[in-house]
């Protein structure tokens, strides 16, 4: 998209061109400019208007989001159909049936110019808002694979399933850098580190859109969100204010968006929150100066769900909704997501002279160009579902299984894992046989399409008696009777397996404790799950704890108790999760996942991240253990990897020079396995204080037992640069420490010194 969305130049060219926008051989930008010349003002503003699918919020039923102030005004109203015929609607989101997508495009074909609609959906980790599509592990789990290239494969498969269900645009990837475990959207993100988030996001965009920017068949628009700073909200509450220095923004939160722009991302979504007192939906410095002029973004910017209205209702920035609409357009927001009255306000804003026609042409032109690039004008009306067939794909399910296997993180193991032979097992916990493993942004799936932990273990231990206690699948459902029953069954078993954690399912009737707008003031196990854990562990039988959640949970008691023999962080492993978990527990698969976030001991440690400043822990907590429960990058294996001493091709370099690092990695253990080798760099002294370490590169080789390999890393000037006191990116002369190892913990790292003259 970046190479084709050069609308200003194209508009000038089109003004003296005699081309025809129907000509599919012309570049998308040129066709958009030609079409704009034939459009009325009303039709142009119509392209900037997006509505939610009528079936998403049926008339008189309100919003399915019980904790979001969504409006169902005008939904299911015949006036909406007429607006489409009048060319006053440019896009829809959350069109949840193939029949609905078909009918809406038929309505659009009846408009004066027949401009097709852009169909968007939150395909966050697969097209999970459509039943039957593939559900991959949640993004925090995908980040735990430390394999960005896997995201390209998942993105391509997701795009394929979207297009086969009439969708063209996903509101993903989420590039928020998640720095607070209380925040419910941690599971939707790729972790706490800007490098890892950037890499996972970049490959995801390539998978969704393709690498050449031409949107080959089966590709969709990606959307980098949320610009910017929502992953560290005040009090852990979604949409809370964010105040931070420009240095912090540029070094921590902006790099993923820069990587997304360089990858050619077609769209960007603004964030709920305010930034240093200016809401992101009204922040022209952020959208125009930084995103467009500095980073070179040439796509269009969409609002988040009714967040323009919240400039008035939530932020109290402007006195009324009308002013909010006008300010958002002036600030660079090109499309309004869901709601009424926007069209009328913007129309009057242009007629009054406040909003220049050039601004409308820019916004509408970028949207039209995206539609041309997708090929919608040549194939606007999707066939009805009966003509398409069921979207499920066996190859995609295999990818989901592969991702689940690599996303699981072994946190603790006293040697009990992998499991041996057991004749009687007690499987306990609300997430043991539940679709909570699918995570957020997923509708209920057919039970036959989901392999739960119970089903996976039943397959792995066909001869064993498995006693169960699931508390109705409710994470807050543990009660006195359940505790008593669990105690009895635990004592009778040879092995106890508990599946505890959160529930992120937005359509669940079991009570959410995680996910969007579901934040908590602590990171404990919800309800009485901690009591359940202690009761089962007190049985004296071997006990394995599986943590299934979209956030980091502070399970300090379990980590330190000898009665809990192993802890496995499964995150939310998707539809094949039960099989992957059983394979990890039995040793059929060697765990290789690594933590993309630091796990604090408790909420009092927040903010707890690996790339903190030196002074953060110059003083200690009274009456509490220092340091995180589990560090960023941590993850155990069933084999043992040995690192040789890293060597640099040079230990002294000049300005602008790169240097090569080499290290030998050996699988010295009894099993084949993969190891995520992590390279960190610390700038020892600078014009501004620097973090104790920063992740700069990762390689994940697979080695057979006894096998060795030599890994090479190139350390570039960009990896050594900081936003210095001169308020620009530069490599400052001085000493650097290069660290290589299995986690961010100092004890897991080998170090070598580098000097920049």
- 206-210, 228-232, 338-342, 687-691: which has the minimum mean pLDDT? 338-342
CA–CA distance, 191 with 177 (Å, rounded to integer) = 6
In this model, does residue 366 exceed pLDDT 80? yes
User: What pLDDT, on the 0 to 100 scale, is given for residue 623?
Assistant: 85
Record the tokens describing residue 549, joined without a space.
């959640």
pLDDT, mean of residues 205-222: 89
CA–CA distance, 489 with 248 (Å, rounded to integer) = 52
- Candidates 412, 431, 438, 432; CA nearest to 187 is 438
Handedness of CA 557, 563, 567, 571 (dihedral sign): negative
- Candidates 370, 380, 330; CA nearest to 352 is 330
Record the tokens describing residue 227, joined without a space.
């610009």
Model pLDDT for residues 170-192, shown as the tens digit of each residue = 999 999 999 999 999 999 999 99
Q: Are 436 and 475 in contact (CB under 8 A)?
A: yes
Q: Are 383 and 67 in contact (CB under 8 A)?
A: no
Cβ atoms within 10 Å, residue 62: 12
Does the pTM surpass 0.85? The reply is yes
Give the CA diameter of the chain.
85
Model pLDDT for residues 476-493, shown as the tens digit of each residue = 999 999 999 999 999 999
Topology of the domain comprising 406-617: Rossmann fold (3.40.50)
- 9-23, 553-567, 626-640: which has the minimum mean pLDDT? 9-23
Record the tokens describing residue 328, joined without a space.
């958002």
User: What pLDDT, on the 0 to 100 scale, is given for residue 15?
Assistant: 44
Q: Does 344 or 388 have the greater pLDDT score? A: 344
Record the tokens describing residue 622, joined without a space.
């009274």
Q: Does 60 or 114 have the greater pLDDT score? A: 114
- Residues identified as active-site: 304
User: What pLDDT, on the 0 to 100 scale, is given for residue 390?
Assistant: 52
User: What pLDDT, on the 0 to 100 scale, is given for residue 693?
Assistant: 98
Q: DSSP of 295-364, one letter per residue? A: T---SEEE--TTTTTHHHHTS--SSSHHHHHHHHHHHT--BEES-SSHHHHHHHHHHTTSS-HHHHHHHH
pLDDT, mean of residues 250-278: 97
The DSSP code for 593 is: -
- Candidates 598, 637, 570; CA nearest to 137 is 570
- Candidates 520, 497, 572, 454; CA nearest to 184 is 520
Q: DSSP of 696-741, one letter per residue? A: EEEE--EE-TT-EEEEEEEE-HHHH-EE-TTSSEE--SEEEEEEEE
User: What pLDDT, on the 0 to 100 scale, is given for residue 275?
Assistant: 96
pLDDT, mean of residues 506-525: 90
Looking at the chain, the whole-number percentage of residues with pLDDT higher than 70 is 93
The DSSP code for 443 is: P
pLDDT, mean of residues 265-274: 97
Model pLDDT for residues 411-445, shown as the tens digit of each residue = 999 999 999 999 999 999 999 999 999 999 999 99
Band the pLDDT of 386: cuts 50, 70, 90.
Answer: low
At which residue do the structure tokens 């913990």 appear?
A: 745
- Candidates 433, 511, 429; CA nearest to 478 is 429
pLDDT, mean of residues 247-266: 97
Cβ atoms within 10 Å, residue 647: 12
Residues in the chain: 757
Looking at the chain, the whole-number percentage of residues with pLDDT higher than 90 is 86
In this model, does residue 399 exceed pLDDT 50? yes
Mean pLDDT score across all residues of the chain = 92
Q: Does domain 641-756 sit in CATH 1.20.120.10?
A: no
Band the pLDDT of 509: cuts 50, 70, 90.
Answer: low
Band the pLDDT of 507: cuts 50, 70, 90.
Answer: confident
Band the pLDDT of 655: cuts 50, 70, 90.
Answer: confident
Backbone angles phi, psi at 659, to 5 degrees: -145, 150
- Enumerate the CATH 2.60.40.10 domain ranges in the chain, comma separated: 641-756
Question: What distance, in Å, lies between the first and last C-alpha atoms of the chain?
Answer: 40
**Rg, Å, the chain Cα set:** 26
pLDDT, mean of residues 226-234: 94
pLDDT, mean of residues 154-164: 95
> SS3 of 642, please?
strand
CA–CA distance, 240 with 249 (Å, rounded to integer) = 16
By CB neighbour count within 10 A (0-12 exposed, 13-18 middle, 19+ buried), where does 487 fall? Answer: middle
pLDDT, mean of residues 523-546: 97
Cβ atoms within 10 Å, residue 19: 14
User: What pLDDT, on the 0 to 100 scale, is given for residue 523?
Assistant: 97
In this model, does residue 54 exceed pLDDT 80? no
pLDDT, mean of residues 287-313: 97
Q: Which helix (H) or strand (E) covers residue 81, if one does? A: helix 78-85
CA–CA distance, 395 with 387 (Å, rounded to integer) = 21
- Candidates 219, 197, 255; CA nearest to 597 is 197
Backbone angles phi, psi at 636, to 5 degrees: -85, 165
In this model, does residue 7 exceed pLDDT 70? no
- Enumerate the CATH 3.40.50.1700 domain ranges in the chain, comma separated: 406-617
Q: Does 103 or 199 have the greater pLDDT score? A: 199
Band the pLDDT of 74: cuts 50, 70, 90.
Answer: very low
Band the pLDDT of 45: cuts 50, 70, 90.
Answer: very high
In this model, does residue 77 exceed pLDDT 70? no
In this model, does residue 199 exceed pLDDT 90? yes
């Amino acid at each position: 998209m970046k190479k084709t969305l050069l609308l200003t130049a194209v508009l000038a060219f089109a003004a003296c061109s005699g081309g025809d926008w129907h000509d599919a051989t012309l570049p998308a930008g040129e066709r958009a400019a030609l079409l704009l010349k034939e459009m009325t003002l009303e039709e142009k503003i119509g392209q900037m208007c997006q509505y939610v699918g009528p079936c998403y919020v049926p008339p008189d039923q309100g919003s399915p989001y019980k904790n979001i102030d969504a409006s169902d005004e005008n939904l299911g109203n015949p006036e909406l159909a007429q607006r489409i015929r009048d060319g006053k609607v440019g896009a829809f989101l959350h069109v949840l049936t193939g029949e609905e997508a078909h009918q809406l495009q038929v309505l659009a074909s009846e408009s004066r110019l027949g401009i097709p609609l852009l169909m968007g959906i939150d395909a966050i980790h697969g097209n999970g808002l459509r039943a039957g599509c593939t559900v991959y592990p949640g993004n925090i789990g995908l980040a735990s694979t430390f394999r960005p290239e896997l995201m390209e494969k998942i993105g391509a498969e997701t795009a394929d399933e979207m297009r086969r269900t009439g969708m063209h645009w996903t509101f993903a990837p989420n590039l928020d850098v998640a720095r607070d475990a209380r925040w419910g959207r941690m599971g939707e993100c790729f972790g706490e580190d800007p490098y890892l988030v950037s890499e996972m996001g970049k490959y995801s965009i390539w998978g969704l859109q393709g690498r050449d920017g031409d949107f080959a068949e089966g590709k969709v628009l990606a959307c980098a969100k949320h610009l910017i700073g929502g992953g560290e909200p005040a009090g852990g509450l979604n949409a809370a204010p964010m105040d931070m220095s420009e240095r912090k923004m540029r070094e921590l939160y902006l790099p993923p968006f820069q990587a997304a722009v360089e990858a050619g991302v077609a769209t960007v979504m603004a964030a709920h929150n305010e930034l240093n007192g200016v809401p992101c939906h009204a922040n022209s410095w952020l959208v125009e100066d930084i995103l467009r002029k500095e980073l070179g973004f040439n796509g269009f910017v969409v609002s988040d769900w009714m967040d323009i209205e919240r400039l008035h209702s939530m932020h109290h920035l402007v006195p009324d909704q009308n002013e909010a609409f006008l300010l958002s357009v002036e600030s660079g927001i090109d499309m309004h997501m869901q709601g009424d009255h926007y069209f009328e306000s913007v129309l009057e804003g242009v007629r009054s002279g406040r909003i220049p026609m050039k601004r409308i042409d820019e916004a509408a032109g970028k949207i039209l160009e995206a539609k041309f690039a997708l090929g919608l004008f040549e194939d606007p009306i999707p066939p009805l579902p009966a003509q398409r067939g069921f979207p499920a794909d066996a190859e995609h399910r295999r990818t989901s299984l592969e991702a689940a296997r690599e996303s699981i993180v072994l946190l603790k193991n006293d040697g009990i894992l992998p499991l041996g032979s057991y004749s009687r097992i007690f499987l306990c916990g609300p997430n043991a046989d539940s679709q909570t493993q699918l995570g957020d942004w997923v509708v209920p799936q057919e039970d036959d399409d989901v392999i739960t932990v119970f089903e996976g273990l039943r397959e792995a231990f066909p001869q064993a008696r498995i006693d169960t206690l699931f508390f109705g699948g409710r994470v807050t459902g543990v009660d006195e009777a359940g505790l008593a029953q669990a105690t009895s069954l635990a004592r009778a078993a040879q092995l106890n397996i508990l599946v505890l954690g959160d529930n992120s399912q937005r359509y669940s009737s079991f009570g959410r404790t995680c996910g969007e707008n579901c934040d908590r003031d602590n990171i404990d196990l919800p309800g009485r799950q901690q009591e359940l854990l202690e009761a089962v562990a007190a049985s004296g039988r071997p006990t394995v704890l599986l943590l299934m959640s979209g956030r980091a949970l502070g399970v300090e008691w379990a980590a330190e108790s000898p009665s809990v023999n192993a802890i496995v962080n499964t995150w939310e492993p998707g539809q094949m999760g039960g099989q992957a978990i059983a394979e990890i527990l039995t040793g059929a698969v060697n765990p290789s996942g690594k933590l993309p976030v630091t796990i604090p001991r408790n909420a009092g440690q927040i903010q707890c991240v690996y790339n903190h400043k030196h002074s953060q822990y110059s003083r200690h907590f009274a009456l509490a253990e220092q340091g995180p429960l589990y560090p960023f990058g941590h993850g155990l294996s069933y084999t043992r990897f040995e690192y040789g001493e890293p060597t640099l091709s040079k230990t002294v370099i000049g300005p602008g020079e790169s240097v090569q690092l080499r290290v030998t990695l050996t699988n010295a253990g009894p099993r084949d396995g993969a190891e995520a080798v992590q390279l960190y760099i610390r700038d020892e002294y600078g014009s501004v204080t620097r973090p104790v370490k920063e992740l700069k590169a990762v390689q994940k080789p697979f080695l057979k037992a006894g096998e060795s390999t030599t890994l090479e890393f190139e350390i570039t000037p960009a990896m050594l640069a900081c936003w210095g006191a001169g308020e620009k990116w530069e490599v400052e002369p001085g000493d650097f420490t290069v660290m290589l190892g299995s986690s961010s913990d100092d004890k897991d790292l080998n170090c070598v010194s580098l000097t920049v003259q």
